[in-house]
Structure 1
Amino acid sequence: MDFQKVSSSQQPIFSDVIPGAAHWSLTVKKGHVLRLIDLEGGANVSMLFYNPVNLLERYNAPDTLKGQHTFKLTQGHCLYSDMGHVFCSIVRDDTAWIDTVCGVANKHKVESKWGARDYQHDRNQWKQNGYDALLVEVAKYGLGKRDLAANLNLFSCVKTAQNGDLLYQTEHSKPGDCIELRFEMDTLVVLTTCPHPMNPATEYPFKPVELQMLEAQPLGADDACLTSRPENGRAFENNRRMHLTHLHSTHSDCLLNNDCQH
């Protein structure tokens, strides 16, 4: 299946530009695609995912990687929750590699690499770090440090040398490169555009990213994300059962309250 033709033919419901060194969050409903576009090249988007109905359920990096027998993520892979569900599927990845293991930089790392700068003196040109950016964003939902699981780094690539050293790949993402996530359940998405912790740039990189929301095409039986691994099929079945249970519960509550709409 050609994911790019399927998803890119849709017109965005809305779009927005997230500047570099910023953070944001939104709930994406099942059946929608979140498209991210690297506007200048060299962007980084660190992402976390939570179930907005049960915030204890969140993205699980180990299960995502071992269930799909991979070190990297790219088009055709799914992102698992720690309760065996699929948050979303990667239906387009122009970069062919999404970093899954390097996390985010903290304040000390950013200051040691690019020097200290704060918002009080430098306003939007201050040097935010990914850890604090995610922490500020999840706090809006009553979450804290213990809720920051391992994150994704979209538009960034880190490979391994023969001796096991991690090697950051410069110029990995080009201007206009696009990644699309199709959501298989309602998901709280938390993100920051702070630089990757291994970025070797001499100047702090402020790299903006455009976000677009689109309606997804219906999931087909031959969908590559569904069929690429048996584990993915089982996770999609878990989603189906979860949604059936939710619909049954909602219908029962409606009958008890006598407030159904016909």
Structure 2
Amino acid sequence: MTVISEMVPASHGRAYRMQAGQVAVIANLHGNQVVDAWALSETDPLEFSSMDHTRSVNSSIYLEKGMKVVSNRRRPMMTLLDDSALLCHDTLLCPCNAEIYEQLGCDGYHRSCSDNFHEALAAKERQLPFTPASLNLFMNVPVHADGSLERHAPASKAGDYVALRAEMDLLLVLSACPQDITVINGDDRTPRNIAIRIAGEYPEALQ
């Protein structure tokens, strides 16, 4: 039975409670939208998805199909069950914040993934005093042999999706990244809605 099926509005964030074994399918409706993602334990308020530990456990700077996202306690939180485009999802870049947009020349307030994270948590009556590093779904960040990296438009196309299985009871937080200055969200630099569908098993969550 489908637990939830809805849109995350462009430039905003949402949080979803998932039980162990449930699957979230996150669809890139337009192909160009990066999704910052976090997981927080439902039983330990200070356990959260850790990109440092995830890179260590997977021996990779990317998250690819079959790999796990682990917590700061090195416990499995989510598994990337499926990925229609077979991408290398970024774990290196930080979630955008107000300061990034100030440095990019924005006047006044600009939405950010960091703010989206905390707003989504507050809506579920949760909070953290800091912003953990995010898993950057669909973000295209090639890394070169000399250690330098580039930021490219996503390689995904409209309708591509990932499927994440919860390995513990958790709160999944998603941000449809508000970046509209660089090409992170595509050459047209226009944030878009994303779709999420949560179901008890896979591939039921695709239906």
**d(CA) in 1 for partners of 2:120, 2:145:** 38
- Name the structure 1 match of 2:205: none
**d(CA) in 2 for partners of 1:86, 1:21:** 28
Whichever structure has more strand as a proportion of its residues is 2
Q: TM-score, normalised by structure 2?
A: 0.85
State the AA in 2 paired with 1:98: H
Q: In terms of mean alpha carbon deviation, does 28-37 or 153-162 score higher? A: 153-162
State the AA in 1 paired with 2:49: Y
How far 1:154 sits from its partner (Å)?
A: 0.7
Which secondary structure does the structure 1 equivalent of 2:142 belong to?
A: strand
- Name the structure 1 match of 2:72: 82
Larger Rg: 1
Deviations 1:145-164 (A, max 9, x none): 33x21111111121112332
Whichever structure has more helix as a proportion of its residues is 1
**d(CA) in 2 for partners of 1:204, 1:171:** 11
Over the matched positions of the two proteins, sequence identity in percent amounts to 21
Q: TM-score, normalised by structure 1?
A: 0.68
State the AA in 1 paired with 2:33: A
Matched, 1:34 2:31: no
Correspondence list, 1:177-216, <5 A: 177-195=160-178, 199-200=182-183, 204-216=189-201
Check the 8 A contact 1:64/1:79 in 2, yes or no.
yes
Which runs of 5 or more structure 1 residues have no equivalent in the other structure? 1-10, 119-126, 218-262
Check the 8 A contact 2:34/2:154 in 1, yes or no.
no
State the AA in 1 paired with 2:97: N
**d(CA) in 1 for partners of 2:181, 2:42:** 31
How far 1:196 sits from its partner (Å)?
A: 5.4
Correspondence list, 1:99-248, <5 A: 99-113=90-104, 115-116=106-107, 118=109, 127-140=110-123, 141-146=125-130, 148-195=131-178, 199-200=182-183, 204-216=189-201
Query: Aligned pair count?
Result: 198
State the AA in 1 paired with 2:173: V
**d(CA) in 2 for partners of 1:25, 1:50:** 10
- After TM superposition, the runs of 4+ consecutive aligned structure 1 residues lying more than 6 A away are none
Check the 8 A contact 1:52/1:188 in 2, yes or no.
yes
Deviations 1:38-95 (A, max 9, x none): 0011111111111112111111212211111111001110111122321111001123
Across the aligned residues of Structure 1 and Structure 2, the Cα RMSD in angstroms comes to 2.3
Check the 8 A contact 2:153/2:187 in 1, yes or no.
no
Which runs of 5 or more structure 2 residues have no equivalent in the other structure? 203-207
Choose from 58, 61, 71 the match for 1:68.
58
